[in-house]
Structures are given as structure tokens and as C-alpha cells.
Homo-oligomer: A and B are copies of this chain.
Amino acid sequence: MQHQPQREQTHELLKSRGIERALFANYASVKWLTGFNPPLHTGPSVFSGGPPMVWYENGAWTLLTLDWHAANAGAFGQQPNCALVTYTGYTVDQPLAGQVKLRGLFRRVVQNNLSGKIAAELRDVPADIALSLHEIGAADIIPIDTWIEPFRRIKTTEELGKLRDNFRLTDIGHAAARAALKPGVREIDLWHAAHNAIESAAGQLVPMGNDCVVGSRQENIGGLPLDLAVGEGDSVILDLGTILHGYWSDSCATLYAGEPSAKQRAIHQAVGRGLDYAISLTKPGAIARDIDAQVREFMRREGYPVYPHHTGHSLGVTSHEDPRIVPYNDMVLQENMVVMLEPGVYFPGETSVRLEDAVRVTSDGAEILTHHDKSLP
């Protein structure tokens, strides 16, 4: 059953709060509740009338979306208490009016005799749809933004399967980029080597972020690739995040064009020790901010400036989510949380190193989910 535990948890929560009807419109919530995975490599579809939405009514779930995206819902609509309903996006017979059609579909789904209170993710519901709730008799709208986010932190078996598939892709991307790197290759060429290998292996388009920058850039922590040639002796930070089955992956390696200098070797080894140390701290009961503080202190003792970013974060239907491994976060790690750990050392305008693995919190430690080569050449 596609994403059933997600809906069960949510149903129990809503029931316990006395909520019989709810509208979810946050992109992450909708993906998490249903397993829906709409395409996004060119941004919002011009035929789409708004965000995909999920209507909940006493334990029954309806996904409302563009007709062109019906296949992206997988088996959702064939399951008990689940329905998929769509509106027409593209037609040559009428002017495009996705927004009007989505609102019309919504009104048909929620019926006309609606009364009493309704819960909604008001930060993501389009205003005209929220206003139409009043028109059709809803007396109160209870905001439920971020209510289900805490459930997303512990991954189900199905989600872990999606993540494993996806981490395999970033492993493939790293290997291809490593093979393609030599002095004179541009950041964008390295990106293509990684991305083409990933999409070839997946047999489909796979959206990809995050960073591909030479260490001699002034802003050498991250950024998208440009037509900047990698010079002899440059490090390159390659941080890849792909989206497969609607879930993100994320892993980082640092590569070298030619032979790394003694300083680069020393930094790389120190960051590797920092990453190993971070992984050793990751287990049930550990507190996010303690891991953060300990890894920062470790890098300080290694004699390097402390990285200006997070020590780590989780991911799932988004690329960066809780538990964040950052200074303020007193969240306690639990089994089947998934955490990225990514210490780095940056000398802007000179060189930089970051290494990142993903781990699953096990019953007594951490299982590494990423298997890309992070060694010195």
C-alpha cells in the first residue's frame, strides 16, 4: 500500500484533534501523504491550475491534480479509501483555465453542504480556494501548517527503499565525474558527466542539484556549475542531490585536477576524519546540537576554520529537513531517521574541501547509505 502508514498517522492525529475534514496543499505534505511525484524539471506547468492538493474526510483521501500528472500518482488511486481526481489542463477546445478548473474540481469534491470547521494548510492553499471554503459553508478554517512535518522525520521501509535507489544514483554520478576530471575541464562538463551517467542509469530524466565549484573560486562553498575551467591543482566540490520517486538524495565528494598539494592533502584527510567522527556520533539518543558542536570542535582542533554551514540535515520529500544538525537543535535522533553529515574546510579564493555521507540511524548506531569514492587521488 503506497504510503499508507503516512496516512494512518495523519488520520490518528486529525481524529485526536476532532478534525473531520482537512485540505493539504503543501508540496511536501502532498508527496508524503500519497507517494505522488509530479515532474518539475522546467518548473510549474503552464497547464496546471495550482498545487496538487489532498482532501481528507473522515479517513478517506482524495488527491486533486492536473490530468497530465495522473500517472505520477502511481497506484495511489487504486487503494482503499483513496481516490485520484483530475482536471483538464491542456485542450485545444477552450482557453487554458487550469486555475478555474482546479477550483471547480475542488468544489465538486468537497460538496455543497459543507458546514462547521475545516482544517487547511493555509500557507499553501491558494487564496481563492480558501475563500471558496467560506462560500460553501465552512464556518472556521483551522490552520494545520507544519502539523505533519514531525511524522516525516522517521522513514518508513518504503521510503528507505526510495532513498536507497536514489543514493545509488549519486554514487554513479560521483564515479563518472571523477573519471572525467582533468585540468581544463569546466565545472559544467563535470556536471554533465555526472548527470548524464545518472540519467542513463535511471533510464529517465532525473532533476539534479546542488553544487559544482572549483575550490579557487571566491565563493567556494557551493553553487551551480559555470563554464569555469578547472585548473591544475584545483579542488572541486561536487555535491549532488537527485530526485527519484519524489525523494531526494545528497552526497558530496571533493575531486582534484592533477595532484593535490600537501596543504590540500592535509585538509582532505582532516575533513575525512571529521566525517568519520560525525558518523561515530550518530546513533539513537544522540542530540542534534551536540553532534553539531562536537564536529565543529573536532575541526577546530584539527587547526582549521570552522565551516559556516550546518554539520548535517535530513532529507526526504524535500532536500533539507529535520533533524537538522545545527547549533540550536535539541532534537533526539531515533532509529530510521536519515541524516547527511558534511563537514568542510574553506579557504575562499584558494581551495576548499567538503565530504558528505548519508546515514540511517539504526538500533545502535548508523548505517552508511552512500558509497561514493571520497579518497584522495
A residues at B contact (CB < 8 Å): 27-28, 39-44, 46-47, 49-50, 90, 92-96, 99, 103, 120, 122-131, 141, 143, 145, 186, 188-189, 191-192, 196, 199-200, 203-205, 207-209, 224-227, 241, 243, 309-310, 318-322, 324, 326-329
Name the contact of A130 in the complex, choosing from B27, B130, B310 (C-beta under 8 A).
B130
Q: Specify which chain B residues have a CB less than 8 angstroms from the CB of A225 in the assembled complex.
A: 204-205
Contact in complex: B46, A43 (CB < 8 Å): no
Bound together, the chains give a CA A34 to CA B143 distance in angstroms of: 32
Contact in complex: A203, B224 (CB < 8 Å): no
Query: Which 5 pairs of residues, A with B, have the shortest CB-CB distance?
Result: A203-B227, A127-B130, A40-B43, A46-B318, A92-B326
Bound together, the chains give a CA A94 to CA B50 distance in angstroms of: 30
The oligomer's copy count stands at: 2
Q: Specify which chain B residues have a CB less than 8 angstroms from the CB of A130 in the assembled complex.
A: 127, 130-131
Contact in complex: B328, A95 (CB < 8 Å): yes
Contact in complex: B207, A43 (CB < 8 Å): yes
Known: A99-B145, A326-B92, A327-B92. A321 touches B205 (CB 8 A): no
Contact in complex: B207, A188 (CB < 8 Å): no
Name the contact of A188 in the complex, choosing from B199, B322, B329 (C-beta under 8 A).
B199
Q: How far is the CB of A185 from chain B (nearest CB, A)?
A: 12
Name the contact of A125 in the complex, choosing from B46, B126, B143 (C-beta under 8 A).
B126
Q: How far is the CB of A346 from chain B (nearest CB, A)?
A: 15
Contact in complex: B207, A226 (CB < 8 Å): no
Q: Specify which chain B residues have a CB less than 8 angstroms from the CB of A93 in the assembled complex.
A: 326-328
Known: A99-B145, A120-B127, A130-B131; 8 extra A-B contacts, CB below 8 A, are: A93-B326, A96-B321, A122-B127, A126-B127, A188-B200, A191-B205, A203-B227, A204-B225
Listed by A's residue number, 9 A-B pairs whose Cβ atoms lie within 8 Å are A27-B43, A40-B42, A42-B208, A42-B209, A95-B322, A123-B128, A191-B205, A200-B227, A204-B226
